[in-house]
Structure 1
Amino acid sequence: MRLLVHDRLLGIGDDYWIEDEHGRKVFLVDGKAMRLRDTFQLKDAHGRVLIDIHQKMFALRDTMVIERDGEGLATIKRKRLSLLRNHYRVSLVDGTELDVSGKILDQEFAVEYDGELLAVISRRRLTLRDTYGVDIVREDADPALLIAVAVCVIHLAQKERADD
């Protein structure tokens, strides 16, 4: 499954659609402005909230939290002892861990579980300006979760760059 994200709008308070390869709107990322912490909602094409994303308050390192139906689903933060600056760890509540690595700010990275590729985020093969693709490799993967992971790691990397 390929999804297209138009990242020129990526920012707090901005809303942007994620489309499938046929141009149909699949997800809406709804940025919530004027909040104490960075907050997003991932909605389906009918406006139903699928996932809530917010910055964890009072964390030693910048951390994003993903929730579904008010229940914690995952936390995302930069991997602590990584030589690569763009390496993030996604800890799901069931104990599963996903690795995200690559050139996050260039939207060229991969999401893996136990060495198996789940999704590739890339702008290389696209001719559309300010757009990157999310290619979900495994058919049983949760597209909403993988989009939420991409939104989080890009946001964390941009925030880290701004803080430097």
Structure 2
Amino acid sequence: MYLIRERIFDLGNDFDITDESGERVYHVDGKVLTLRDRLVIEDTAGREVAAVHRQLVALRRTYTIEIGGEKAAEVRKKLFTPFREKFTIDVPGPEDLEMKGDLLDHEYSIERDGVELASVSKKWFRVRDTYAVKIAEGVDHLLILASVLALDLAQSRAEKERAERGD
């Protein structure tokens, strides 16, 4: 299980992703004030292992995930999802993932063909402004964590745009 502080992107600061005992697993360099809303995920030795950035030309909010310098997935909001927000994690090939549930409140699952691969929840951990990401064995942990961060970036950008419009 991994722990991430909620609303970290409002500050635009760097932060750590820890395990459930509080040990740092990854460091995230948050460059959310840049034009492309870019995050760099580093291992404990400070090496870049993944990056998340917003695509500027996409018709809908889309974030690209790179792992090891290679494009690993795109995270984008699904069109026409009444009553709930859903995001797709589009990976190469037919094995796409879906994020669904209460995305705004960090209570959701990540599934492939109806099988839960990961769940995100604030209920598991009582530390204020923290949510947990629990990932099944055999699943690419870095892809899941980067996808969760991409969703947070998308939501933060949407909130900022609503505030600018006065919604």
TM-score, length basis structure 2: 0.89
Deviations 1:63-92 (A, max 9, x none): 000012322110011111211442101100
CA contact under 8 A between 2:37 and 2:153: conserved in structure 1? no
- State the 1:163 CA deviation: 2.4
**3-state DSSP of counterpart to 1:163:** helix
Task: Name segments (4+ residues, structure 1) moved above 3 Å.
Answer: none
Counterpart for residue 140 of structure 1? 138
Unaligned runs of 5+ in 1: none
Rounded to whole Å, the distance in 2 between the matches of 1:101 and 1:115 is 11
Structure 1 window deviating more from structure 2 (75-84 vs 12-21): it is 12-21
On the 8 A contact 1:66/1:75 being kept in 2, the answer is yes
Look up the SS of the partner of 1:145 in the other structure: helix
* Structure 2 equivalent of residue 162 of structure 1: 160
**Residue 73, structure 1, aligned to residue 109, structure 2:** no
Aligned sequence identity (%): 32
- Write the distance in 2 (CA, Å) between the matches of 1:110 and 1:135: 9
How far is 1:34 from its partner?
A: 5.1
Residues 81-132 of structure 1: CA distance to partner in whole angstroms, max 9, x if unpaired? 2114421011002332100011112111110011110111000132110100
SS in 1 for 2:35: coil
- RMSD across aligned positions (CA): 1.6
For residue 143 of structure 1, what is the amino acid of its counterpart?
Answer: H
Q: Are the aligned partners of 1:12 and 1:39 in contact in 2 as well (CA < 8 Å)?
A: no
Who is 2:29 aligned against? 30
Structure-1 residue corresponding to 2:165: none
Q: Which amino acid aligns with 2:78?
A: K
When the two structures are aligned, how many residues end up with a matched partner? 162
